[in-house]
Amino acid sequence: MLLRELVEKYLAAAGGFGKSVPLDSLGISRAETERVFDALDEDYHISRFFHFRYATGASFRINGFPQTHVSIDAEIKSIL
C-alpha cells in the first residue's frame, strides 16, 4: 500500500488531520495494517508524522508494541 493511499484511508475515517482514530477503522486487514505501519514506523522521515496510542479497542502489534489508535499530522502532505 502506498503512503498516499494510507493517508486517504485515514482522512476518510478521521475527517481531518490530527484526530485519533481506531486502527481497525481504516478498513485494512490486521496483517496488512501491522505490516504497513511496521514499515512506516521504521522510517524516521515518515514515522514522525504518525502518533500511536493504546486505548480501548482492537489491538494491533506495531513493531512489537500493542496499539489501538493512530493520528497523522497534516505536515505529512509535504512528503506525499
Mean pLDDT split into 10-residue runs, the chain, 80 residues: 96 98 97 97 96 97 97 97
> Can you give the pLDDT at residue 66?
98
By residue range, what is the domain housing residue 35? 3-75
Cα end-to-end distance, the chain, whole Å? 13
**Residue 71, C-alpha cell as written in the block:** 493520528
In a domain, 65, yes or no: yes
In a domain, 80, yes or no: no
37 class by beta-carbon count within 10 Å (0-12 exposed, 13-18 middle, 19+ buried): buried
In a domain, 23, yes or no: yes
Instruction: Determine the Cα–Cα distance for residues 17 and 29; give it in Å rounded to an integer.
Output: 22
Residue-wise pLDDT tens digits, 41-64: 999 999 999 999 999 999 999 999
What is the pTM (predicted TM-score) of this model?
Answer: 0.94
> Can you give the pLDDT at residue 3?
96
In a domain, 31, yes or no: yes
Overall domain count for the chain: 1
